[in-house]
Amino acid sequence: MERRARILEIVRSISKQDVNPAPDQSLFESGIVDSFALPELVGALEREFSISIPDSDLMPRKFETLERIESYIQGRL
């Protein structure tokens, strides 16, 4: 499965919504994900992509859109 599709599945699972946001749509401003769900989102990304995300990176801005999440993960691989 393509990386972005895997990220989208995680977002859907965390938000409990069958959403299909645009790659550059804010997940937070659109209400798909809120800041309380960020640790859960990060944990799911760590498990799915076998990466470690430091606490210092737990900022909504880094995980605001599918594009940003994909770019961030690419940088951690």
Determine what percent of the chain is predicted with pLDDT higher than 90: 91
Q: Using CA atoms, how far apart are residues 53 and 38, in angstroms rounded to an integer?
A: 12
**Residue at token pair 């470690």:** 52
Residue reference for tokens 């809120």: 34
What HEC string does 5-18 produce? HHHHHHHHHHHCCC
- For the full predicted model, state whether its pTM sits above 0.75: yes
Which helix (DSSP H) or strand (DSSP E) does residue 40 occupy? helix 38-49
Fold of 3-76: 1.10.1200
Residue 21 has pLDDT above 90, yes or no: yes
Above 80 in pLDDT, residue 33?
yes
> For 35-52, how does the pLDDT look when each residue is reduced to its tens digit (9 = 90+)?
899 999 999 999 999 999
User: How do the domains of the chain map onto residue ranges?
Assistant: 3-76
- Degrees (nearest 5) of the Cα angle 23, 20, 39? 75
Q: Which two tokens stand for residue 54?
A: 């430091």
pLDDT at residue 23 in the model: 95
